[in-house]
Structure 1
């Protein structure tokens, strides 16, 4: 499975930047617990400053975190009664829709240019989701992380967060090619027996699914802790939801037994581009078909899963991905990566991503042409 297939042609192969961010899509802005009542919480998303806050009815809101007057961060200001955000510099106030609702200076006239943009937000599955695009936001398009809502507390790891100094696509590449677990996470998430797994790639709409089953292989430490099996039939099936949210089903059963008799967890990965070279990475894990007994024992396992996964991401994945980004940025010429069989998943999702980006570009161009025609007519 490691034979070279082909080589990518042209500099676009590894092109990365803000123009690679689909805007008409749902991104995770925050874990819900990161947005307490009465607080202004800043976050840079797709290179734009956003300030989140809860309205008096408890629902979340998000507006541009840049005052229209002198461009001060509104997140440094105050959240006032009536769902108003007061600028810390000259006291202009903005509502949850982004409209400037108070100018305390002069005759108190509010110029049209004072109004700011607001962003659709939805609180679901323990996340604050945000829509950065200009098309109508459809809450039904939010990926299903419902396992967070229905599982016992002792089966769900604590919410995790990392900031990784790399473009989000490098992290998606890492997750959709889990052959790296044999080398990067040896003994924890992968073993020598899992690298030879057959790879299957499927696509349903814009969802790309990569499966890696392994038969009669040594059980990695994480799954051994959940199952007690020294060897077993293992599988990892990871689904990518455009543009940057993923769910991995990871598990093991006794050799020769069906998957339904095994055990494992759903690994939840939610990536939100901060800038061209930084990504907000939120994660958790939810166990399924738990076969270990006792609440105290399962809570201990829960803590161990959380710590091991954080170690794997922060101490093993992130250093390699960040170093990869630096090497790419240092190259004086465009890089054309050699492709292996293990790259089938990453290449499939990139084709979907490229198509979505192209559709957005074409829609923007058509909109600009329409505006131009309207101006000419007037």
Structure 2
């Protein structure tokens, strides 16, 4: 079923927004902890995820590990310590050592006994699709539930942008709302990702299991600069299309592109975009992103390398200088509210409304 947003009158009913005062973190789920390139061998890397301090490192065989970044003795950050033989982290304060499962395995102070309370939580981690994924919950973690970002593995490096990172000072759901709202590009990203002609384009929403997909197809419109850069001469006007899927709780995958008016989508060109949102706290979000071109039409390695860099620059600008300030300002205004907010909902809010239903159900099951 692929209902049009215009056929969703229930959206006219306001609903209390719960983002401003609640963690709303699903713990039994996969989150992008780091880009694999952010975790060099021999280093301890600290991150706060779901309000928990976590330290990542690579074991002697190169596999990633992650444990709570807070010594059980005097609560010093283990990330300030060092790696020692046996895949252990040594606390910088009094030398206690912890294994990759979080268990304390060495107390150097006589009589060297290890209290049961000395052990720390360890987290399940998997390296897949150029990322280090982490599972923060207590239920068994199935790596098959990690979204399919295999385009990062299979694409030509010449057509894959550098891994991007931003820290957005807002709740992660505000960013999900932004990404699933395809209408905002006309106003926030006019000339780069959007153009006025797509305002009236048909938008559809589909739910399959716990995946929510929002699609937009605009016919015979002037193409924004991102698309004209990707296509050869003759594509300044045509059909444009964007499909974005939300994989609970906060990973998204977008396909966008352009083709000549009336031609099949596959005859055109565009890129696949990866959006990875990992809650840091209730008010901050780790935002990692990349893009992979498909059906590349431009020629010449030097030219395509310039395009690769330009895609990164434009997307980073769009997120850091356009989306980010608006979302962060939203968060501030919501925090200033003296009573619960009931947002007016429009037909364009079908995607955000649909995913929130799925997320609410997952949160209830998680608890």
Same fold judged by TM-score > 0.5? Answer: yes
Q: CA deviation at 1:296?
A: 1.2
Specify which of 233, 238, 259 is matched with residue 265 of structure 2: 259
Please state how far the C-alpha of 1:54 moved relative to its aligned partner.
0.3
CA contact (8 A) 2:69 2:79 kept: yes
Query: Does residue 275 of structure 2 align to residue 269 of structure 1?
Result: yes
2:252 pairs with one of 226, 246, 249: 246
Within a 5 Å distance, the mapping from 1:141-220 to structure 2 comes to 141-220=145-224
Partner of 2:340: 334
SS at match of 1:66: coil
Q: Tell me, yes or no, if the aligned pair for 1:292 and 1:298 is still in contact at 8 Å.
A: yes
- Once residues 92 and 8 of structure 1 are traced to their aligned partners in structure 2, the CA distance between those partners, rounded to angstroms, is 54
CA RMSD of aligned residues (A): 1.3
Residue 349 in 1 paired to residue 355 in 2?
A: yes
Note if 1:282 corresponds to 2:288. yes
CA offsets 1:204-257 (integer angstroms, 9 cap, x no match) = 110000001100011011001111411111100000000000011000000010
Q: Which digits, 9 at most, give the CA deviation of each residue in 1:276-300, with x for residues without a partner?
A: 0000000000000001111111111
* TM-score, structure 2 as length reference: 0.96
Distance in 1 (alpha carbons) for counterparts of 2:172 and 2:338: 22
The number of aligned residues is 359
Cα pair 2:20 2:334 within 8 Å, conserved: no
* SS of residue paired to 2:324: helix
1:17 CA drift (Å): 5.0
Q: Which residue of 2 aligns with 1:94?
A: 98
Q: Distance in 1 between matches of 2:105 and 2:236?
A: 65
Indicate yes or no: 2:58 matched with 1:58: no
- Partners of 1:346 and 1:75 lie apart in 2 by 37
Show CA shifts across 1:27-63 (max 9, x none): 0000001000110000000000000000000000000
**C-alpha distance in structure 2 between counterparts of 1:350 and 1:123, whole Å:** 28
Partner of 1:106: 110
Q: 2:79 aligns with which of 75, 81, 92?
A: 75
CA distance in 2, matches of 1:152, 1:295: 11
- 2:12 match: secondary structure: strand
